[in-house]
Amino acid sequence: MFRGEELARYGFGDGHPFGCDRHEVFHDELAKACLGDAIRYAAPRRASVDELALFHLPEYINFVSKRSAEGCGFLDGGDTPAFPGVFEIAADVVGTTLAAVDAVMQGDARRAFVPIAGLHHAGRDHAAGFCVFNDCGVAVEYLRHNYDLQRIAYVDIDAHHGDGVFYGFEYDPDLLFADIHEDGRFLYPGTGAANETGKGPATGTKLNIPLPPGAGDAEFADAWPAVEAFIEHARPEFIILQCGADSLEGDPITHLRFTEDAHARAASELCRLAAKHCGGRIVATGGGGYNRHNVARAWTRVVESFVATA
């Protein structure tokens, strides 16, 4: 479990939905769960430029660095503001996800959770949707570069389509992608139709399941077995879960109506699949979520599932 001021600093202030209070709200709720010795806390670390460049293009890394020094304007068309130090703060999020990968790969932790991370909209060459650097995308390349793994599964239950990961690996047959999200015709970023299954050699290695606005636990329960079957068939070597809490009822910017049971189920079933196929190796990242109660509860349930699942 990762906790620290460095993670808490990632946010955009001034009434922006991605505020800096999400970290504290979650950790307060997690503390109430009294998981005791079952959880070990670790501190964030900063990703190096070389690590960022495993996924992001050098031109884009330089662009963020420059805007961070200027400390104003936007990193994209208007969703993701630049502010002084945004480069370092975004690199802290990426580095922490890499630290989680290290902890699991080196046997220091059975499973790991990184709140605030899961910045799935950032592309290889651009910021988007509150996401500066894509920690999940970097983590995939990091697992390949540092640990010689190839087949990585990325599962995303955030209300928004994980477009930064999807298009970053659209032609990559060894990135197994499964994403349940609100139909892009009704919600940002507008992508993730069911017929987007990967391209070229990667055709069939991506699973997009768009749900209509208002879909709740019943629709999630109908969709989830396809994700399980997909992972079962894909036989990955490592699983990354992006468990955005904005798919829960009451989120101010989306229209799905899951309860936190969906997050608990996804976490426990993926632990089971990880145990079966990849030596138990799984890392979860918090992702989106703009109703503070939902963030606290959904992420806590994921951690509880990580602790409780054999």
| Separation CA 193–CA 50 (nearest Å) | 33
* Residue 162 binds to Zn ion (criterion: CB under 5 A): no
> 174 or 246, CB closer to Zn ion?
246
Nearer to Zn ion, 61 or 132 (CB): 132
Looking from the CA of 60 toward its CB, the CA atoms found within 13 Å total 19
How far apart are CB 72 and Zn ion at their closest, in Å? 25
Stretch that binds Zn ion, among 20-28, 41-49, 132-140, 236-244 (CB under 5 A): 236-244
Q: Which stretch binds Zn ion (CB under 5 A): 46-54, 160-168, 189-197, 295-303?
A: 160-168
- Residue 104 has, within 13 A of its CA and on its CB side, a CA count of 30
CB of 246 to Zn ion, least distance (A): 4
d(CA 215, CA 223): 11
Query: Hey, which residues between 246 and 285 contact Zn ion (CB under 5 A)?
Result: 246
Q: Alpha carbon of 92 to those of 127, 160, 289: distances in Å?
A: 16, 23, 20
CA distance 31 to 88: 28
Q: Verify whether residue 121 is a known catalytic residue.
A: yes
158 sits near Zn ion (criterion: CB under 5 A): yes
Q: Which of 94, 288, 296, 299 binds Zn ion (CB under 5 A)?
A: 288
Lay out the site mask for Zn ion across 65-94 (x = CB under 5 A, - = otherwise).
------------------------------
Nearer to Zn ion, 51 or 183 (CB): 183
Instruction: Write down the least CB distance from residue 242 to Zn ion, Å.
Output: 9
β-pairing, 206-211 vs 238-242, is: unpaired
Which stretches of the chain are DSSP H helices? 5-8, 22-32, 49-52, 58-70, 86-105, 135-147, 163-168, 217-234, 260-277, 292-308
Nearest to 50 by CA among 158, 159, 138: 138
- Asked if residue 244 binds Zn ion (CB under 5 A), the reply is yes
The residue sitting closest to Zn ion, measured at its beta carbon, is 288
HSE of 228, CA atoms in CB hemisphere, 13 A: 16
Residues that bind Zn ion (CB under 5 A): 158-160, 244, 246, 288
- Catalytically active residues are 121
